[in-house]
Each structure stands twice: as C-alpha cells, then as structure tokens.
Amino acid sequence: MDLVSIHRKIYEVRGLRIMLDYDLSDLYEVETRALKQAVRRNKDRFPEDFMIQLTAEEVQVMVSQFVIPSKQQLGGALPFAFTEQGVAMLSSVLKSKKALQVNIAIMRAFVALRQYALNYSEIANKLSELEQQYNRQFADVYDALNYLMNDKQARESFEARRPIGFSPLPSDD
C-alpha cells in the first residue's frame, strides 16, 4: 500500500481533510456495512471532529466532480467521513493486524500532506516577500515608465485631435 494511492483517497469537505467509509473499508478489506456497524456500536469514540456524515448535497457535489462514484454505488446510504483522528480511532474499533497496518500507512499519508501544505505556504510567503522587496526597489523605474507612456499617449492624443478655431481660406494666387 503506497502513500500516493492513499493520498488520492483523502478529500477536503467542510474545511476538513477526510477519508470516506467505502475507501477505508476497501483499504481495511472489510465490507462498508461492517465498518459502519462497528462505528455505530462505538459512537461515543467518534465525536464530530473525528467523523461526520456527508449530506446529500455534499455527496452530489463530489459525484458531479468525479471524486466519488455514483450514489447507487454507495449503496444509497450517506457515507461517513473520517478525519485523521477518526481514522486513528478506527484501529481501536477494527481490531485486526490489517487495520493496524492500514492505520499506520494512513497516518503517514496525513503527515505527508500536512508537511506538503507547510512547505507550500512557506514558499508562497517567500515569493510574496520577494515581490514586495523588488516592487519597492523598482518603484521609481515603474513610475518613470508610466510617466513616459502616459506622456507619449498625451502627445499622440493632442496631435490627433481635431483643431478648432479660425483657419484661413486658401488663396487663389
């Protein structure tokens, strides 16, 4: 089980990174029905910051974006969505060697995603700093270029204008 295949099964819903019950049941090699049943039996272990149930609208959006299969393939039930903490809690509910191995791999995937997000924000901040620094250094150059462009436009529009006032008639000499 590689991290890339797990990364593809981590989605963002309601600002949370989550994994869906049917993806987890596939990884754990158990039926989705059995996974949901184990969760329902241990509902007190899965508060809202560990697990949410998707709404019909959220499912429709995910289906329309080809993130998940059609609603018929979900069995008609709204899927459970587990946060990182919820996935960790699943190992205490699904007590098998496979569940333990899968949880370790999933935790590594979540950590890698978090590290990627940190690196991305660091790079974005650095680019913003460089942009501000160079914009300040070249502000005079930008101002001069704008002045020259505006001055040229002003001269061209002055020359292209239709003159008004008195114009002498041509002489018949």
What topology is assigned to 3-122 in CATH? Answer: Mlu1-box Binding Protein; DNA-binding Domain (3.10.260)
Residue 63 is predicted with a pLDDT of: 79
The whole-model pTM stands at: 0.58
Each domain of the chain, given as residue ranges in start order, spans 3-122, 123-157
- Own/partner pairs, 51-54, CB within 8 angstroms, 24+ separation: 51/80, 51/81, 51/82, 51/83, 51/86, 52/13, 52/14, 52/16, 52/18, 52/80, 52/81, 53/78, 53/79, 53/80, 53/81, 54/13, 54/20, 54/78, 54/79, 54/80, 54/81
pLDDT per position as a tens digit, 26-60:
888 888 888 899 999 999 989 999 999 998 888 88
Q: Out of 77-81, 86-90, 109-113, 161-165, which region has the weakest mean confidence (pLDDT)? A: 161-165
Checking if the pLDDT of 86 tops 80, the result is: yes
pLDDT at 139: 67
